[in-house]
Chain A
C-alpha cells in the first residue's frame, strides 16, 4: 500500500523535481563558473538574487539567500501540488475510500513530500561544499562547519512545505485566510534565520503542523 502510494506521488511530482534540479543547477553554475550560466563578473544578478562567485563559499557567496528562495518555492509548490491537485480532480473521493486509515494516506504523502524536498535540496549543498573543498577552486580555506547555516535552512524547508500542504488542504472562504498556515510557516523560518529563534523550537513546530494536517484531514468534508 505504502509503495503504491509512494509511486503515485513520485509520478505526480517528477516534473517539479526536474524543475528544482534545473534551478539548483543554475545556482551552482553561477557560483562555480561551470557551464552556460557561468558568471564572469564578481557579482551577478540572477533573477534578482545576488550571488558572488568570488566570495567565500557559504560565508559571503550569496548561496544561502538564493538557496532559501529556490527551496522555499519548491516547498510551497510541492505542498500545494500534493494537496490542491487531489481536491481539484476530486480524487480524494477515490483515494480516501481505499481501505486504509485516512491518517496513513496523509502521513505517507507528507513523508514522500518532505523526503523529496530534503533529498533534492541537500544536493546543491553537498555539491557546492565538495567544489569548495577541492583545492584550487577557492583561494580560501574551507571547513565543513561553514555549511552549518545552509544545513539549518535545509532542515527548516519541510516546515514551509507543511504550511503549504495545510493551506491547500484547509477549506476556507477567502484565499487570504486559507494561506494563513503557509504564512505562519514562513514566519517561523524567518524567526530562525533573521531573529535567531532557537532550533529547539523546530521539533514542536513540526509536530504542530503535522498534527494540524492530520486533524484537518479527518475533520474536513470532501465534497
Chain B
C-alpha cells in the first residue's frame, strides 16, 4: 500500500530565505500525523505545497500514490484541505456553500451533512459572513468531510478559536473523522490538540523537519533533568543528546533528547545534592525541543528520525 503523502526534498525559497528546506515527509495510509512548529516554521507553506497552491522550487510530492503535477480531479476529490483561517465565501449561506461544493464531487454523504448540521446546531439559511469563527471552522470541516475524503490535510484548524470552542471543535473532529483507513495530516502549534489525536508527529524548525517519529516516542525521548547543588553548579562536561541548559542559582536544568544511563552516570559524577528526571508532556517537550541552540538540534535530529 502506498503512502497517503510522500514528499521528496521539498524546498521553497522566499527571496534568499528557505521557508521549507529538503522536506522528506511520509504520512502512511491510516495515520494521523501532527505537524508541529512555531509560527513561521514553514508548516503552512509546506501544506500549501502539498496541495499544489504553492510551487516548490525543488522536490516533488505524491498524494495517494499520484504525482502532484499529474494529480487527476478524481484523486483530488479524495483529498480534503482545510486552509488556515477557514476561508469561505462569506456572502453565501450554508445551504449555498453546500450546494456549490456538492456540484464538484461525485461522492457526497448527505446523511453526514444532516448529522453534522444537527451536531453543530447550524442552520442552512445562515449566511457564512454572520457565523462566529468557531462556527465557520465547523462549516469548513463539514464541507471537507461531506465528500468522504480518504486524506484530510488540515492547516491549523483550531487557530483563533477560544479554548471552549477549540475543545468542542476537536471533539467533533475526532467524532466525525474516525474512519478506517482515513489519513490525516494536521498542522498546529497547539500541542495539546495534536497530542490527543496524532499517532505520529513531525517538528519543523526554521523550515526543516527536525523530528519525525511516533508521538509517544517523542514524548519519551525528551526529558528534563533538574540538578541541585550546594553551591554554584560546576562547569558541565560534554553531554551527549543535551539540547538545552539553564542555570538558576544553585540549580541546573538540562533538557535531553534520549536520556539514558550514559548521561545519568556523567551527571552523577558531578555529585549534585539532588537529581530529578522529569517526564514532559508533548507541549513541554516541544517547547524545550524547539528553543534549544540550533547546533544542538541539528546534531540530535537524526536520533529521532525513525
Contact = CB atoms under 8 A, between A and B. Distances in A.
A99 B73 contact: yes
A84 B48 CA distance: 19
B81 A221 contact: no
A171 B81 CA distance: 23
Contacts of A12: 89, 91
B58 interface: no
B238 interface: no
A11 B66 CA distance: 36
Chain B interface size, under 10 / 10 to 19 / 20 to 34 / 35 or more: 20 to 34
B54 interface: yes
A222 interface: yes
Contacts of B52: 96
B55 A1 contact: no
Interface string A1-26: 10110011001100000000000000
B45 A223 contact: yes
B103 A219 contact: no
Nearest to A3: B103
A97 B85 contact: no
Nearest to B56: A221
Given A89-B90, A91-B88, A93-B81, A98 B48 contact: no
B48 to A, nearest CB: 6
Chain B contact surface mostly: loop
B180 to A, nearest CB: 23
A90 interface: yes
Chain A contact residues (Cβ within 8 angstroms of B): what range? 20 to 34
Contacts of A90: 83, 85, 87
Given A97-B51, A222-B53, A4 B104 contact: yes
A63 B74 CA distance: 51
A100 B53 contact: no
Nearest to B106: A99
B199 to A, nearest CB: 25
Nearest to A222: B53
B159 to A, nearest CB: 13
Interface of A: 1, 3-4, 7-8, 11-12, 89-94, 96-101, 219, 221-223
Interface of B: 44-45, 48, 51-55, 73-77, 79, 81, 83, 85, 87-92, 96, 99-101, 103-105
Identify the 10 closest CB pairs spanning chains A and B, nearest first. A99-B77, A4-B103, A90-B87, A93-B83, A99-B73, A98-B104, A99-B76, A222-B53, A221-B54, A97-B81
30 contacts: A1-B104, A4-B99, A7-B100, A8-B92, A11-B91, A11-B92, A12-B91, A89-B87, A89-B89, A91-B87, A93-B48, A93-B51, A93-B53, A93-B83, A94-B89, A96-B52, A96-B53, A97-B79, A97-B81, A97-B83, A98-B101, A99-B74, A99-B76, A99-B104, A100-B73, A100-B104, A219-B55, A221-B54, A222-B54, A223-B44
